[in-house]
Amino acid sequence: MSKINPISGFPEFLPSDRIVEQHFLDVIRETFELHGFASIETRAVEPVERLSNQGEDADKEIYGIRRLAATADDDSGANLGLHFDLTVPFARYVLEHSGKLAFPFRRYQIQKVWRGERPQEGRYREFTQADIDIVDSGELPNHYEVELPLVIADALRKLPVPEFVIKVNNRKIPEGFYRGLGLDDVTTVLRIVDKIDKIGPDKVVERLVEAGATDKQAKLAVQLADISSTDTSFVEQVRALGVEHPTLDEGLEQLGAVMAAAAEHAPGLLMADLRIARGLDYYTGAVYEIYLVGQESFGSVGGGGRYDALASDGRTTYPGVGISIGVSRLVHRLISLGLLKGSRSTPTAVLIALTAEEDRAEAMRTAAALRQRGIPVEVAPAAAKFGKQIKFADRRGIPFVWFSTDNGPEVKDIRSGEQVPADPATWTPPGEDVRPQIEALEENS
């Protein structure tokens, strides 16, 4: 048999860690539904033309697909690529099904996405995202830009996640500021300034000058990126830089409204941070990045923003705003730091022991009775000595072993050694033992 070589960037969990991930997915899904978001799933592929030209070197990251047996003149899979996020396919979905959707349309989507980038800690080529978006027909009220981070915060606060902050900006602020400076190639400036955390402010100034900015323009662009606040004081800080432009005014007003509303509903949740830009070109208003406090160097574990022109059929435009949680990125980070683990590697709560193979039929009946009451059960794979079966259960973290004795059935808690009579029609394990639990460090629980 040939040696199996792992493929980097395609993470796979062991069973106990998969239990952690599934818990996160369940809580996120339930929270999204509590807030009225409907579930959809889109196909894995989109036309490359639709996926490309979205910024952030998207063209280089798209995985194209084709049949291995395709001939040169076979175009059955031509120009199709795996989606690199869930927003672009969602925009297509809205256009395709607009006649059957009720607007404003609130959707959530939890799926795999693929990016052909260099794998490193927290960056994968295949990973799971959990998105929520609200899309409307024609106009989208700005109050949704406050609602979405509140929903995300509700989900994260139900999970064993360390303290987090959602940083927010408005793309109109840097755009208006740069135009007010006389820098009209906004996209280039945004992409250079977006690297400030990686290369530092001095290098950003150098690159801006190389791109055509004056030294003064470049330094003012960096000064804008240094502004942050947990209230609306960022407005005065921007005004103090002395740059004026109508688009800048609009962005400051919109972000100020978001921060004021957030201060009322969730004080301290949002931080206005004017270096947040998001690399994808379709964002037009509010943009968000989610960070674990004290682990900002790891990068964001989620983000999103407003997009006003991504979905349009030429007659009607469907503006939207959305945020995603990078589930794979977040869960892998917490597990790798030793902050989380599953309490066992299997959902099984009870192992039914076998003294002899002829007892299997009765054991199967017992298992069925317990499962009818929602207790996860499995029957021992083979008859063996009790000690061996207890070791089998212990290795997998199964807390209870069910025995047939001369006095009738009994169940043993193999952690404490306590063994008591049990009736499959009435016996129930403690609530915390029915399903695997997520074990966290005390300060994060």
Residue 261 identity (one-letter amino acid): A
Identify the burial level of 370 via C-beta atoms within 10 angstroms of its C-beta, where 0-12 means exposed, 13-18 middle and 19 or more buried: buried
What's the chain's Rg over C-alpha atoms?
A: 27
133 is in an annotated binding site: yes
Report helix, strand or coil for 10.
Answer: coil
CB 355 within 8 A of CB 414: no
Q: Give the Cβ contact number of residue 122 at 10 Å.
A: 17
Is residue 222 left, alpha or beta, with left meaning phi > 0 and alpha meaning psi from -120 to 50?
Answer: alpha
Question: Pairing mode, if any, of strands 350-352 and 400-405?
Answer: parallel
- Structure tokens given for 148: 């979405």
Euclidean distance between CA atoms 147 and 274, whole angstroms: 20
Question: What is the per-residue burial (b if ≥16 Cβ within 10 Å, else e) of 307-324?
Answer: bbebbeeeeebbbbbbbb
63 is in an annotated binding site: no
Q: Which residues contact 15 (CB under 8 A, 6 or more apart)?
A: 342, 345, 346
Sign of CA dihedral 211, 216, 220, 226: positive
308 is in an annotated binding site: no
85 is in an annotated binding site: yes
DSSP 8-state assignment for residue 49: H
Angle of helix 246-265 versus helix 144-157 axis, rounded to 10:
40
Host H or E run for residue 254? helix 246-265
214 is in an annotated binding site: no
128 is in an annotated binding site: no
Phi (first) and psi of residue 348, to 5 degrees: -60, 130
What's the Cα-to-Cα distance from 418 to each of 51, 66, 401, rounded to whole Å? 60, 59, 11
355 is in an annotated binding site: no
Question: Pairing mode, if any, of strands 438-440 and 419-421?
Answer: unpaired
Detail the residues annotated as belonging to a binding site: 85-87, 115, 129, 133, 278, 282-283
Detail the residues annotated as belonging to a binding site for L-histidine: 85-87, 115, 129, 133, 278, 282-283
